[in-house]
Structure 1
Amino acid sequence: MDNRAVYYVSTKGDIQPIRPDEQLHYFEILVNDKEKYELEHLFLRLHEQNKQEGIDIFSPSRHFNEEYGDADRREDNELMFELYRMIYLLGTAETKKDLEDMRVLPNLYESKR
């Protein structure tokens, strides 16, 4: 049997086994170790992408070149879509309803076209 545990995912990418403060927004998911690792890896890729974009600000050859900007935006959109898709698939009924109410997935899907 697949050992699944409840985790809470914050909008900053923290994945915790303990319910966060009620004032914070989080998504409740049920995951096994492999799924948790995959989700953590997606957040890591997104954070690395954002760090690279920050470094590029100081590179005149990249910062003012829209081709790099477009590529960065595409990468961000793809990672965000994948994160929300995975959270939706692993989410509890409440998490799925939250994401449906937020209309995040249709909007992200539209941005991929």
Structure 2
Amino acid sequence: MSKSTYYVNLNPTSMEDITTSKINDHELIEYEIEATEEEVTDLQQLLLDVQKHDMELADLFTFRHFNEHFTTDDSERFQHGINQVYRTIYELGTPETKEKMDSMDPSPFTNDE
């Protein structure tokens, strides 16, 4: 399968955005990747899964966020998922993306858990 250029936007309110065109918005965290359609679909699903473990608006109207076991477990799943997102972006990333990520902190992007 051939690879195409995609842009992954890690905006906290819409983390699942993967587009084929660059968005010129300085408030977005955007990474350029080279991926097949299957790789994009897998990354899209991973992003959706991670968002499920982020603090949901619905939890603010319940007492779930006061349950320490629930919030700790959910936070750990979220962190594991977001680390996997960054590793996947790093693996699929263009040289510029890898350089950008390396300059931040390479450990979550290149280490296996």
TM-score by length of 1: 0.81
Superposed displacement of residue 109, structure 1: 8.4
Unaligned runs of 5+ in 1: none
Superposed displacement of residue 89, structure 1: 0.2
Corresponding residue to 1:17 among 9, 16, 20: 20
Please say which of residues 14-23 and 30-39 is displaced more in the overlay.
14-23
Letter in 1 for 2:69: E
1:106 corresponding residue in structure 2? 107
Change (3 A) 1:70 1:35: same
Letter in 2 for 1:63: H
Any residues of structure 2 matched to 1:5-84 within 5 Å, and which? Answer: 5-12=4-11, 13=15, 14-21=17-24, 23=26, 24-50=28-54, 53-60=56-63, 62-84=64-86
Unaligned runs of 5+ in 2: none
2:91 corresponding residue in structure 1? 89
SS at match of 1:68: helix
SS at match of 2:24: coil
| Aligned mates of 1:25, 1:69 — CA distance in 2 | 26
- State the aligned residue count: 107
Cα RMSD (Å) of the superposition?
2.3
| Aligned mates of 1:32, 1:109 — CA distance in 2 | 21
Higher helix share: 1
Identity %: 30
